[in-house]
Amino acid sequence: MFNFFKKNKKEESTPIEKKNLYAPCNGRVVPVTEVADPVFSQKMMGDGYAVIPEDGAIYSPVEGKILSVFPTKHAIGIQMEDGLEILIHMGLDTVEMNGKPFETHVAEGDTVTADTKVATCDLAALAEAGKDNAMVVVITNMDKVKEYELTAEGTVSARQVVGTVLHK
């Protein structure tokens, strides 16, 4: 009659909400466009941010599931619950170091939160090798992103919210 007891279809569907992005380490957050590697700065891999680290404790930048730990330990792929894929790339041009300055603490299939320490990076070894130590976080499937925003600037603490992302 007046549809008082019928549920609205929009109410039945799960609302899409912004998900937090976290600082993977203590340091200074910068937009990905300021990373000293054109693959990242020109957003060829996706949009995101980097933290110039003060120490080598690296935490998950999102809540999700580990998709891959690169054999060279310099990068970790994470899939968020909503399907967005995040890459944390530790340092620039570090693949050629064959994992020496990195110790990973997660494996494929592990569930992670911002409190999960995913890796430890020997920053002194990176410096000795002349490598940039930026901890880069990018959303690799931007075609599924409705909105991305970096909300923090300057000095941040590991596990601090630094931005948000909204799935389409």
Catalytic residue among 74, 89, 105, 167: 89
CB-based contact 4:127 (threshold 8 Å): no
CA torsion 43→49→53→56, rounded to 10°?
-80
Which token pair is 133?
């130590």
Q: Which residues contact 76 (CB under 8 A, 6 or more apart)?
A: 66, 68, 69, 70, 87, 88, 104, 106, 118, 119
Give the three-class secondary structure for 41. helix
State yes or no: is 105 an active-site residue.
Answer: no
Which token pair is 92?
């620039």
Farthest-apart Cα atoms in the chain, separation: 76
Catalytically active residues, by annotation: 89
